[in-house]
Amino acid sequence: MNSTEASQETKKVLSRRRSSILRSQWFFLLVAEIIIAVITGIVNPRFFTTSNIMNILEQIAVLGIVSSGMTLLIISGEIDISVGANIGLSSCVMAMMIKSGNGYLLPVIVGIALAVFNSLLVGITARAFKAPSFITSLAFTSVFQGVALAITKGSFQTIYGQFEFIGTTRLWQILPFSFIISIGAYIIVHFLLSYTKLGRRTYAVGSNPSAAYLSGISVNRSKLTAFLLNGIFIGIASMVLLSRIGAAQPSTGSGIELKAIGAVVIGGTPLSGGKGRIIGTFFGVLLMGLISNSLNMLRVNPYFQTVTFGVLIIASLAISVLSTYSKRGNIRTFFGRKDEKR
């Protein structure tokens, strides 16, 4: 191959990559985020201050960690809506152990192990009874909340000033350490999905479990591995959240599962599974954080902010469902039978 042919081949590769980026959902999210930031910055110049930007990064750290695990789970064709209750229970256990004078390391290990156990319990139950993980995780939401209420008697577990270094430390007095942890979570998930057998199997069982089984992949093992990893990220998120707010109660983490699912779906991972990239989840989480901060900067009523997030999540779910029907070539069946005989 001479230099001219090599140059032409390089141009073709760059052109394909450029075209792929422009078609990617994360690219449109990036454009939307830039527009939101510019508009908010014009209305309230404080938006672009270093302190506010770092505050946004700190606010989205826990959601980013949770969304990383949720990305793996949704790609595998499963879902877990007990995440918030799991965080509540594991963070309460961590706080109670720290208050009892057990140091920091042991409570963190126990809390993360508990989160992993809870997540695996949801997955094992779903696989054992061949029930949708949505239903089993919904049931375990009540179980986890009930256990947390029982052990805490519904009271706050405060540890102010005892476990702040993870959630409040800022590197070089600027960058939140909690955000660095979330970036680590994104990188780990990207590596697992892109460069390991686990990633390939996760995509396979999410896309077509029957075909994956026939090709020699253990569907149960692959899905339970996704639940296990999801539990690890939930445990880490519990640790970061407890360190940041210095207290825990059974309702700690409530509602974060919906934001995580919304961020994952907005980022381009369909609820049907089998597809998705962690970079899309990152921009989905960032969009959530930007919208929340922008609404605060614009002094929008907090109740309306809740409505905004609800509408955003509904829209993302609708887009996911419609895109699935569209790519199968039968979007008309979403509204009724495609070829109804008269």
Going from the C-alpha of 324 to that of each of 34, 275, 327, the distances in angstroms are 28, 11, 5
In this prediction, residue 194 carries a pLDDT of 96
Look-up: residue for tokens 């908010």? 40
Q: Give the model's pLDDT for residue 29.
A: 87
Q: Which domains does the chain have, with CATH numbers?
A: 25-323 (1.10.3470)
**CA distances in angstroms from 4 to 7, 14, 161, listed in the order given:** 5, 15, 65
- The token duo for 242 is 């407890």
- The helix/strand/coil state of 325 is helix
From first to last of its 342 residues, the chain has per-residue pLDDT tens of 555 554 555 555 455 555 555 457 778 889 989 999 999 999 999 999 999 999 999 999 999 999 999 999 999 999 999 999 999 999 999 999 999 989 999 999 999 999 999 999 999 999 999 999 999 999 999 999 999 999 999 888 998 878 888 888 888 888 999 999 999 999 999 999 999 999 999 999 999 999 999 999 999 999 999 999 999 999 999 999 999 999 999 999 998 999 999 999 989 898 888 999 999 999 999 999 999 999 988 888 877 877 887 888 787 777 767 766 655 555 555 555 554 443
pLDDT at position 173: 81
Residue 300 is predicted with a pLDDT of 83
Do residues 66 and 256 make contact, with C-beta atoms less than 8 angstroms apart? yes
The tokens for 296 are 């605060």
Task: Give the model's pLDDT for residue 337.
Answer: 53
DSSP assignment of 99-161 equals: HTT-TTHHHHHHHHHHHHHHHHHHHHHHHHTT--HHHHHHHHHHHHHHHHHHHHTT--EE-TT
- Token code pair at residue 210: 């029957």
pLDDT at 340: 45
Greatest pairwise CA separation for the chain in angstroms: 76
Q: E strands within the chain?
A: 157-158, 170-171, 175-176, 247-248
